[in-house]
Amino acid sequence: EEILALDRDCTTLSRHVLQQLQSFSADAQDVSALMNRIALAGKLIARRLSQAGLMAGALGFTGEVNVQGEEVKQMDAYSNDVFISVFKQSGLVCRLVSEEMDEIYHIPENCPLGRYTLLYDPIDGSSNVDININVGSVFAIRQQEGDDLDGSGQDLLQSGRKQIGAGYILYGPSTMLIYSLGTGVHAFVLDPSLGEFVLASENIKIPKHGAVYSVNEGNFWQWDEPYRNYIRYMHRHEGYTARYSGAMVGDLHRLLFQGGVFLYPGTQKNPEGKLRTLYEAAPMAYLVEQAGGLASDGQQAILDVIPDQIHARTPVIIGSQADVELVQSFLSEP
Ligand code: AHG
Ligand code: MN
Ligand code: MN
Ligand code: MN
C-alpha cells in the first residue's frame, strides 16, 4: 500500500500533461509548459488567499469598476496580474483575455512564436472572497488563427470547439486543479508541502443524474416562464436538493463528482444571463462534455455558441445528461 501511495504521489501535473499529449513534439512541449505556468498562477493565488485575512490591502474593493460593470475586488486585480506576470515571461502566450481587462492583452515579445491565447477568469466567485468561502479560477487555451494584425482578436469569436484545453482551479479546503486537453478530465490536489499538484482522479465521468440543482432562485421572477415551471417541478418532486454557493467553479465541481445541474438563465435585466462565454461558460462546457455531461444555452450546445465580442455572455444549463435534458424538456414545451 505504501508503494502504491508513493506511486500516486509521483504523478505530478507536469508528468501527467506529457502523458496525455503522448508526444514530445514542440507543440506538446509548449502546451505542457503552458499548463505548468497555469499551475504556478494557481499556487500564487492560493498562497495569497490563504493569508489574505492577515494582509493589509488583500481584501475588499479596489474602487474600480470592470468592463462587466462589476466592482472590482482586490483579489480580482491581484489574480489578474498574477496571470499576466506568469505569462509575460513564458514565451508561450501571445494574447490574454480576462474578465478583468476591457481589451485583449497583447504580449508582443512572445509573438509570433507563442501562438496560444489564454482566456481566463482570475477569480470566480468574487463575492465569496471577503468571507473566506471557496472561489476559483477558470481558463481556456486556444491556438491563434491568422496573424491578428489589427489586434482585434477576430479569430477568438469562434465556437468553444476551438478550445484545445480548459480547466479550473478550485481554492477550497484544499486547492485543486481540474483540466482537460481533449482526452478526459483529470483532477489534482495541491500538496503545499511539495508545492506540487498531485494526481487525485483520472478520467472523471459525471454521473448520468444527480440530486442537486444549482441556481440563484432570487432571480425567479426575472426568468422566462419555462424556467419557473422547471423550478416549480423541482419543488414538487422528491429526490432533489438545492445547492448554490455564488461561485460557479465550486458548484460545478460538486456536480462533476456527484451529478446534477447548474443553471444561469437569462433575466429580464440581462437576457443573456451573467456568465461570460469565452472564459466561463465555454471552458466549463468543454470539461463537462469531456466528462460525459451536457452544456446548453437552452437552444444549442454551449460549445457551439459564437460570441459577438470577447466579453459576450450566454445563458447556461450544464451538468448531468438526464438533469440538463429535464430542464430542456420545459424549454421546449409549447
Ligand atoms: P465572477 O465572480 O467571476 O464575476 O463570477 C460570478 C459568477 C459565478 O461564479 C456565480 O455562479 C454567479 O456569478 C453568481 O451570480 P449571482 O450572484 O447573480 O447568482
Ligand atoms: Mn466578476
Ligand atoms: Mn466568474
Ligand atoms: Mn471573476
Instruction: Output the pLDDT for position 253.
Output: 98
- Dist. CA 119 → ligand 4 center (Å): 12
Instruction: Output the pLDDT for position 112.
Output: 74
Strand partners, 214: 262
Instruction: Output the pLDDT for position 4.
Output: 57
Instruction: Output the pLDDT for position 10.
Output: 83
pLDDT at 3 over 70: no
Residue (of 81, 86, 109) closest to 38 by Cα position: 86
| Residue 8 pLDDT class (50, 70, 90 cuts) | low
What's the pLDDT tens digit per position in 248-279? Answer: 999 999 999 999 999 999 999 999 999 999 99
Instruction: Report the chain's mean pLDDT, rounded to a whole number.
Output: 95
Euclidean distance between CA atoms 72 and 78, whole angstroms: 10
Strand ranges for the chain from DSSP E: 61-65, 71-73, 93-98, 105-106, 116-124, 135-143, 163-171, 175-180, 186-191, 196-201, 212-214, 241-242, 260-264, 294-296, 316-319
316 lines ligand 1 (CB under 6 A): no
124 lines ligand 1 (CB under 6 A): yes
318 lines ligand 1 (CB under 6 A): no
- Dist. CA 72 → ligand 4 center (Å): 9
What's the pLDDT tens digit per position in 105-164? Answer: 999 888 877 789 999 999 999 999 999 999 999 999 999 998 887 889 999 999 999 999
Q: Report how far apart, in Å, the C-alpha atoms of 85 and of each of 65, 124, 275 are.
A: 22, 19, 25
Residue nearest to atom 1 of ligand 1 (CA): 124
Over residues 197-207, mean pLDDT? 97
| Residue 24 pLDDT class (50, 70, 90 cuts) | confident
Mutation test residue for ligand 1: of 264, 269, 278, 318, the one with most atoms within 8 Å of CB: 264
What's the pLDDT tens digit per position in 31-65? Answer: 999 999 999 999 999 999 999 999 999 999 999 99
Instruction: Output the pLDDT for position 114.
Output: 76
Instruction: Output the pLDDT for position 5.
Output: 62
Residues 6+ apart with CB under 8 A from 25: none
Nearest atom (ligand 1) to Cα of 274: 13
Over residues 206-210, mean pLDDT? 98
Instruction: Output the pLDDT for position 150.
Output: 85
125 lines ligand 1 (CB under 6 A): yes
What's the pLDDT tens digit per position in 277-326? Answer: 999 999 999 999 999 999 999 999 999 999 999 999 999 999 999 999 99
State the Cα torsion 209-281-312-163 to the nearest 10°.
Answer: -130
How far apart, in Å, do the first and last CA atoms of the chain sit? 58
Euclidean distance between CA atoms 170 and 176, whole angstroms: 5
Instruction: Output the pLDDT for position 194.
Output: 93
